[in-house]
Structure 1
C-alpha cells in the first residue's frame, strides 16, 4: 500500500473536518456577539453618531454568518491537507486571527472602547492577510474563501475609524455623563 490517499479519502477527510470546523467557527462567532451584550440595540450604541456608510443592522448577522461558514470551510480545507508544507503554521495563524476577530465585539460593544476596538481590528486586518498568504501556500481555494472576509473587515475597519472620528469621547458627552444618580 502506498502513502497516497485516494480522492474519496481526501473528500471524506475534508467533510469530517468541515463538520467540526464550520459549526465551531459559527458557534464561537455567535458567543462573541453574546459576550458583547446588547450590541447595536444597546443604549450606548444608540447614543453614538453613525457614519453615513453604516449599513442597515440586519445585514451584520447575515454577512457574519456567511463569512463564518466560509472561514470554517477554508479552515477545513487546510486541516484536511495532511502533509502539506506550512499547514501547522497556517492553522496557528488562523487561530490567532480568529481570537482577534472574537475579541472585537466585546471590546467595542461591551467595553465601549472604540479606540481599543480600532487597534484590535487593525491587528485583525494584518493577521487575516498573513492567514490568506499562508493558506494560499497550502490550498489556494482556502485562501480564496477568505477574500470576502478580508473585504468585510476592511470595511469594518473603515466603519470603526469613522465611529471614532464622529464620537471622539466614545459617545460619552462630558465628564459626568457616565454617572447616573438615583435617590431612593
Structure 2
C-alpha cells in the first residue's frame, strides 16, 4: 500500500501527452509575456550583468524547448507510475511528480519576482530552490524511467545552473539599486 498520495489531477494531466507538454509550455509563455516589455525599460537596460549572458532572443527559444522537455518528462513519470508494481517505486514516482509540479510553480514565480517586482535577490532565492528541486526530481526519475527522463531534464538542470549564476551575478552587481533602478 502506498504511503504517499498526490491529488489525482496532478497525475491525470501528464497522462495526456498534449496536456503534459502543452500545459508547461502555455504557462511558461504566459509567464514570460511581460518580460519583452520590461527588457526595454531603463531598469533592465541599466542592470550590470556577469560575463556570459546570452542575447535576449535566445531565452524564448531555450525556454520553449525546456518546457516541452519537462512536460514530456512528466509524461514518462506517469507512464512509469502506471506500469510499476512496486510500492516503493510508486512512492518515488509520486514524490517526483509532486516535485515536478513544485518546480513548475517555482519556475513560473521567478519571472514576476525578477521582472515584475524587480527583485533579483528574491528571484535568486526562488531560482536556487528551483534548481535544487529540479536536480533532485531528475535523480528520482532516472531509474524508474530507465534514464529517459534524465536525457530530457539534464539540459534543464544545466540551464538552471547557468540561470542561477546569472541571477546571482545580477543581484550582486546591482545590490545597491532599488527596484526603481535608482541607488539607495
Give the TM-score taking structure 2 as reference length.
0.80
Q: Can you give the 5+ residue segments of structure 2 that lack an aligned partner in the other structure?
A: 1-13
Aligned partner of residue 71 in structure 2, secondary structure: helix
Matching residue of 1:30? 29
Match of residue 164 from structure 1:
171
3-state SS of the aligned residue for 1:169? coil
The answer to whether residue 118 in structure 2 is matched with residue 120 in structure 1 is: no
Q: Return closer, same or farther for 1:16/1:100 CA change in 2, 3 Å cut-off.
A: closer
Equivalent residues, number: 161
Kindly indicate whether the alpha-carbon contact (under 8 Å) linking 2:24 and 2:68 is maintained by their aligned counterparts in 1: yes
How large is the RMSD of aligned CA atoms in angstroms?
1.9
Larger of the two Rg values belongs to structure:
1
Q: Who is 2:138 aligned against?
A: 132
Whole-angstrom CA distance in 2 between matches of 1:174 and 1:124:
29
Query: Is 1:48–1:167's contact at 8 Å kept on the other side of the alignment?
Result: yes
Moved more, 39-48 or 160-169: 39-48
Deviates more, 1:96-105 or 1:80-89: 80-89
Query: Mapping of 1:1-184 within 5 angstroms?
Result: 17-34=16-33, 38-81=37-80, 82-84=82-84, 85=89, 86-139=92-145, 140-170=147-177, 172-175=181-184
Give the TM-score, by structure 1 length: 0.80
What are structure 1's unaligned runs of at least 5 residues? 1-14, 176-184
Deviation beyond 6 Å, 4+ runs, structure 1: none
